[in-house]
Every structure is written in C-alpha cells, then in structure tokens.
C-alpha cells in the first residue's frame, strides 16, 4: 500500500527525472520495483527544496541485500538512468515475469513509445505519415 509520504517521494523523484525519457524510465522502473522509499541510501532528498533524486552509483553498490531479480533490474535502471554499461544477455535471463514487463515498458518509455504517435514510413515509395499505437504501457497494478 502506498502512503501519502511514499506518493510525495515518488512525485519528487519523478519531477527530478522529468525532461529525459531514459531517466524517467529508470526512475519509474525503480519505483515500481519497490526500491524508492524513505531513508533508502540511494535516494538523495533535500527537504528544504522538497526534492529527491536517485543516486544510481549508490544503488548499484548498496544492492547486495536485494534479491537477484532486483539486482538485475537495477543494473538496467542504472543503464537507462546514467549510461552504466549492462550485459543484457546476462541481466534479462534473470528477471521474472513482473520485472521483465517493467523492463520492457521502461525501454519503450526511454524510446518515447509509450504513447500513441505518428511516424514517417515509405508507402509505395513515398514518405507517408503513419499512426502507431503505444509499444507498451506501464502496468496499472
């Protein structure tokens, strides 16, 4: 269950990430994995400014107590959030169904494909504006 203080923290971290699709995707991935919470060592909060951010370096170094699936998920989040290299072959084979869905959606979000849109495709040799549906959507539950 999400408390009011959890929701406020999520809003602060989301606001910090706003403006960068990959960073927003990384933050959302970590939130939905249950890894953003008050006093988490990787959450940096400035109470005077009412803002919070994720320190991906700390998240990676402090992940030893997390489950194997969480550790693999945060490697992907750190890659999206700050460009940390990740071995997708190794990392993705260690995700369960829930985490795989979250990672797939995060990648779609980073690419800007979680909303309907338009693209240019060649139709009969002519550039044509074509609508597309979202590639993925964040789970609602």
Domain residue ranges in the chain: 4-114
pLDDT: is 2 or 138 the higher one?
138
Q: How many Å apart are CA 107 and CA 113, to the nearest integer?
A: 9
Percentage with pLDDT > 70 across the chain: 98
3-state SS assignment for residue 92: helix
Buried (b) or exposed (e) across 83-105, using 16+ Cβ within 10 A?
A: ebebeeeebbeebeeebeebbeb
Q: How many Å apart are CA 137 and CA 130, to the nearest integer?
A: 20
3-state SS assignment for residue 1: coil
Query: pTM of the predicted model, to two decimals?
Result: 0.88
Per-residue confidence (pLDDT) for residue 110, from 0 to 100: 97
Q: How many Å apart are CA 28 and CA 94, to the nearest integer?
A: 20
Q: What is the pLDDT of residues 38-89, one digit of tens each?
A: 999 999 998 888 899 999 999 999 988 899 999 999 999 999 999 999 999 9
Residue 25: is its pLDDT beyond 60? yes
């Amino acid at each position: 269950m999400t408390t009011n203080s959890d929701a406020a923290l999520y809003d602060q971290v989301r606001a910090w990430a706003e403006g960068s699709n990959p960073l927003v995707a990384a933050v959302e991935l970590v939130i939905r994995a249950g890894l953003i919470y008050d006093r988490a060592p990787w959450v940096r909060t400035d109470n005077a400014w009412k803002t919070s951010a994720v320190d991906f370096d700390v998240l990676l170094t402090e992940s030893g107590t997390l489950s194997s699936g969480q550790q693999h998920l945060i490697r992907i989040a750190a890659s999206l959030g700050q460009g940390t290299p990740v071995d997708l072959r190794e990392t993705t084979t260690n995700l369960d169904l829930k985490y795989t869905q979250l990672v797939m959606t995060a990648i779609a979000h980073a690419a800007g494909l979680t909303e309907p849109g338009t693209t240019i495709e060649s139709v009969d040799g002519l550039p044509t504006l074509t609508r597309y549906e979202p590639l993925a959507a964040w789970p609602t539950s």
